[in-house]
């Protein structure tokens, strides 16, 4: 049985990460095919699942006044003891690219130990386009390239395989220097699509949903009442929340908008909704439990995700699995997720286009419900974690079957450190 170290790279102060959630879910599904040990910089979730777990120590390099820097800057420099854990495994699977310097450290350690590694492309669209989507000037663009793009590209160039979340990532990793075709004097690597998956939820209990929704004071669902929109993401600039709120000013109909996700102190939420008509109500929820997310998605009519850059957002699949149609930006792998039967695409960063699409969809509630049924059927057919795990396992086998990789593996094997008992690592805060 293949022995895999699933290394989840994420700033440890974060309470939620789509890349980390996806890495945990794929690792759990892979346990029916491989021996998988998870080493996550976020620690262990409340339900650690079937995998072995290695407790991970995270830290910042000594000698600098880290407490004076905001989290968004400190997060670039977090380190872990994962590089010392790679020896002896057949394969390392890297999930999530931030902090990029730590991703590169783990990749270097794997190469030094003769252990091939593969990378899932969580967040690669943001890494490749961060300089533009965050509106950086020349100095910050140079810093982004040096501390984010360049380390990720270095890890990519040494990878034995790239498990792209969608075909949109192929050109990104090739631009970083990955070679998936034979080049004279160079070893080529495997590249194929292994998308995120989603668990199809069981039918909900209306009484439980009502209890969960009580704190948000939403009105009872009314097929003839205002359309209820939902947005859920980290409130970072690339997710497009200001675009969504600006689009409401162009609408001339009653709307309820639920803005899910942990609030950020630097965002003026009141200012963003100032001037909206009284019949356009915006509820900013703050952090949500998974149960509350499900209840709110079932209460909504349309999931709206006007992101400026995304690779293959897990939250889009989660909305589709709840039977929600999706209106989203045509960026990254989102066109691979959504077909015209279950959602619509709009250009990024265009509030007027987003408002026009909401207006069109609001005029036909029956069509919205039909799109929601197609959305749920699409993820059930094409985007499950079991299917993703089967594809990933096949990729592992092909990587390890390459003669040069087999020689590297034999040269680098040492004793695998014992996995910790399930749940022994520090649990992170939960919610979104």
Task: Specify the pLDDT at position 279.
Answer: 87
- Predicted pLDDT at 183: 58
3-state secondary structure the chain: CCEEEEEECCCCCCCCCHHHHHHHHHHHHHCCCCEEEEEECCCCCCCCCCCEECCCCEECCCCCCHHHCCHHHHCCCCEECHHHHCCCCCEEEEECCCCHHHHHHHHHHHHHHCCCEEEECCCHHHHHHHHHHCCCCHHHHHHHHHHHHHHHHHHHHCCCEEEECCCCHHHHHHHCCCCCCCECCECCCEEEECCCCCCCCCCCCHHHHHHHHHHHCCCCCCCCCCEEEEEECCCCHHHCHHHHHHHHCCCCCCEEEEEEECCCCCCCHHHHHCCCCCCEEEEEEECCCHHHHHHHHHHCCEEEECCCCCCCCHHHHHHHHCCCCEEEECCCCHHHHCCCCCEEEECCCCHHHHHHHHHHHHCCHHHHHHHHHHHHHHHHHHCCHHHHHHHHHHHHHHHHHCHHHHHHHHHHCCCCCCCECCCCCCCCCCCC
Asked whether the predicted pLDDT for residue 429 surpasses 60, the reply is no
Q: What is the mean pLDDT of residues 348-359?
A: 96
Q: What is the pLDDT of residue 25?
A: 94
How high is the pLDDT of residue 416? 53
User: pLDDT by residue (tens digit) across 131-148?
Assistant: 887 778 899 899 999 999
209-213, 215-219, 235-239, 407-411: least confident range: 407-411
What pLDDT, on the 0 to 100 scale, is given for residue 49? 80
**pLDDT given for residue 412 in this prediction:** 47
Q: Which domains does the chain have, with CATH numbers?
A: 3-197+384-412 (3.40.50.2000), 206-382 (3.40.50.2000)
d(CA 337, CA 382) in angstroms, rounded, equals 9
- pLDDT band for 263, please (50, 70, 90 cuts): confident
Examine the pLDDT at 425 and tell me if it is beyond 50: no
Per-residue pLDDT, averaged over 71-88, amounts to 92
**pLDDT for residue 419:** 56
Q: What integer is the mean pLDDT of 337-342?
A: 95
> Who wins on pLDDT, 379 or 223?
379
Mean pLDDT of 203-227: 88
pLDDT value for 148: 95
> Which pLDDT score, from 0 to 100, does residue 120 have?
98
Give the pLDDT confidence of 14-54 residue by residue, as tens digits: 877 888 999 999 999 999 999 999 999 998 776 778 999 99
> What confidence score (pLDDT) does residue 186 get?
55
Q: Provide mean pLDDT across the span 361-367.
A: 93
Mean pLDDT of the chain: 89
Residue 193: per-residue pLDDT: 96
> How high is the pLDDT of residue 84?
96
The answer on pLDDT for 152 being more than 80 is yes
Mean pLDDT in residue range 195-205: 91
């Amino acid at each position: 049985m293949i022995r895999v170290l699933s290394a989840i790279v994420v700033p440890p102060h974060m309470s939620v990460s789509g890349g980390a959630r996806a890495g945990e879910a794929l690792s759990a599904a892979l346990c029916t095919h491989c021996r998988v040990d998870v080493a996550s910089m976020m620690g262990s979730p409340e339900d650690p699942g079937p995998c072995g777990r290695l407790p991970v120590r995270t830290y910042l390099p000594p000698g600098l006044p880290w407490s004076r820097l905001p989290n968004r800057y400190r997060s670039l420099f977090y380190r872990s003891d994962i590089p010392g854990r790679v020896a002896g495994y057949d394969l390392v699977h890297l999930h999530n690219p931030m902090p990029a310097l730590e991703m590169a450290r783990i990749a270097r350690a794997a190469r030094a130990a003769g252990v091939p590694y593969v990378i899932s492309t969580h967040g690669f669209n943001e890494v490749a386009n961060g300089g533009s989507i965050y509106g950086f000037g020349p100095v910050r663009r140079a810093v982004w390239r040096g501390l984010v793009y360049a380390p990720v590209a270095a890890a990519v160039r040494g990878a034995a395989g790239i498990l792209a979340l969608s075909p949109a990532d192929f050109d990104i990793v090739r631009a970083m220097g990955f070679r998936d075709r034979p080049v004279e004097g160079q070893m080529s690597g495997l590249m194929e699509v292994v998308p995120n998956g989603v668990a199809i939820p069981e039918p909900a209990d209306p009484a439980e949903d009502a209890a969960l929704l009580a704190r948000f004071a939403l009105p009872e669902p009314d097929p003839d009442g205002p359309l209820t929109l939902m947005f859920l993401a980290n409130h970072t600039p690339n997710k497009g929340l200001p675009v969504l709120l600006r689009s409401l000013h162009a609408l001339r109909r009653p709307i309820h908008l639920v803005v899910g996700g942990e609030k950020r102190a630097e965002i003026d939420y009141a200012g963003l909704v100032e001037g909206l008509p009284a019949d356009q109500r915006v509820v900013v929820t703050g952090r949500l439990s998974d149960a509350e997310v499900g209840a709110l998605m079932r209460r909504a009519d349309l999931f709206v995700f006007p992101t400026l850059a995304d690779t293959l957002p897990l939250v889009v699949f989660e909305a589709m699995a709840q039977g929600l149609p999706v209106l989203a930006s045509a960026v990254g792998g989102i066109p691979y997720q959504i077909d015209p039967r279950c959602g619509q695409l709009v250009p990024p960063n265009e509030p007027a286009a987003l408002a026009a699409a909401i207006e069109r969809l609001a005029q036909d509630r029956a069509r919205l419900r039909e799109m929601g049924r197609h959305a749920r059927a699409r993820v059930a057919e094409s985007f499950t974690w079991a299917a993703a795990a089967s594809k990933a396992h096949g990729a592992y086998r092909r990587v390890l079957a390459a003669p040069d990789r087999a020689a590297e593996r034999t040269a680098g094997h040492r004793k695998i450190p014992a996995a910790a008992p399930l749940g022994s690592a520090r649990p992170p805060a939960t919610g979104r």
